[in-house]
Amino acid sequence: MYMNHRVQTAMEQSLSVAEEYWDLRQPSQAQTQATVRMLAYILDELVEARREIVQTVNALSDQLYRASVS
């Protein structure tokens, strides 16, 4: 299965953050805030990657439509 590199990286980062958080078990407020910031960053990356994927799919769909009409 093809996976956008940014999506794959974000998934790996999410797993890493989740594992670190689990290992901490009783994180301090600062650790919790750092974890939340990292997850927000990862979410931003996923949203941007999704946007790029949608644009690519739309462009390909448009090309296919034009090719089928001509």
pLDDT per residue as tens digits for the range 7-33? 778 778 888 887 877 776 777 888 878
Residue numbers of the domain that contains 59: 5-69
Q: What's the CA gap between 41 and 15, in Å, rounded?
A: 14
The number of angstroms, rounded, from the C-alpha of 52 to the middle of its chain's C-alpha atoms is: 11
- Residue pair 53/60 in contact (Cβ under 8 Å)? The answer is no
Mean pLDDT of the chain: 83
Alpha-carbon distance of 30 to 35, in angstroms, equals: 9
Domain count, the chain: 1
